[in-house]
Structure 1
Amino acid sequence: MTSTTPTEEDAQKIARTVVAERLAAGAEVTGPAMSVFWHDDKLGEGQEWRVTLKTSAAVRDQLANRIVELHPWAGGAEVVASPVEWAIDHYTQWVEKFTAATE
């Protein structure tokens, strides 16, 4: 799952929070990237930071909701995901282990 934020600090906050909460097994923050976009019917551009989160289907929806809660763009957070067609077994087991529900 990925999202973009306006600052590195915002991306790091999301990464640290959701990994600590076991909604993601790991996270990567990359950037800055130059972005061109439509916002409020106006063409804009600026820098964005991407946070990439390694998660499981079991907590995917919880993770998406938590990103929206933590994101500085109220109601406008980008949250997208692509299914993994294949991964080596130990990687899949690692993700499943660290995104398992805790008591």
Structure 2
Amino acid sequence: MKRLAAGVQIVGPIRSLYWWKGSLRDGQEWQLVIKTTRALFADLEEHIKASHSYETPEIIATEIFEGSGAYLDWIRTETQRTDAS
């Protein structure tokens, strides 16, 4: 198991309006809020791109300026890779 995220929230379905290849699209999507570390972002991005059906999936990072110490420790702990993972 790669342990690229400590947890994921799935929001949706949501309605998305967006421009794609010159035309306005109207579609149904699901938003994922993925809890990971900055060190694992590139690996997570690679995994999403490899498994997502979209040519250009939305992959953005929101910096955590402050947070509960215990919660942030949980994210770090749960995303640590071990030889058994």
Taking structure 1 as the reference length, the TM-score comes to: 0.76
Across the two proteins, how many residue pairs are aligned to each other? Answer: 83
Q: Once the 2 structures are TM-superposed, how far is the Cα of residue 65 of structure 1 from its aligned partner?
A: 1.0
Q: Once the 2 structures are TM-superposed, how far is the Cα of residue 52 of structure 1 from its aligned partner?
A: 0.9
Structure 1 unpaired stretches of 5+: 1-19
2:61 aligned partner: 81
Q: Once the 2 structures are TM-superposed, how far is the Cα of residue 66 of structure 1 from its aligned partner?
A: 0.7
Give the root-mean-square deviation of aligned CA atoms.
1.1
Query: Distance between the aligned counterparts of 1:46 and 1:25, measured in 2?
Result: 29
Query: Distance between the aligned counterparts of 2:16 and 2:70, measured in 1?
Result: 35
Taking structure 2 as the reference length, the TM-score comes to: 0.90
CA offset digits 1:63-96 (Å, max 9, x no partner)? 111111111113x111001110011111011000
- Kindly name which structure, 1 or 2, has the bigger radius of gyration based on alpha carbons: 2
Amino acid at match of 1:100: Q
Matched, 1:46 2:46: no
1:92 aligned partner: 72
2:45 aligned partner: 64
Q: Once the 2 structures are TM-superposed, how far is the Cα of residue 50 of structure 1 from its aligned partner?
A: 0.6
Q: Which has the higher helix share?
A: 1
CA offset digits 1:3-53 (Å, max 9, x no partner)? xxxxxxxxxxxxxxxxx5210000011101111100111111111111110
Query: Distance between the aligned counterparts of 2:81 and 2:40, measured in 1?
Result: 8
Query: Distance between the aligned counterparts of 2:82 and 2:45, measured in 1?
Result: 18
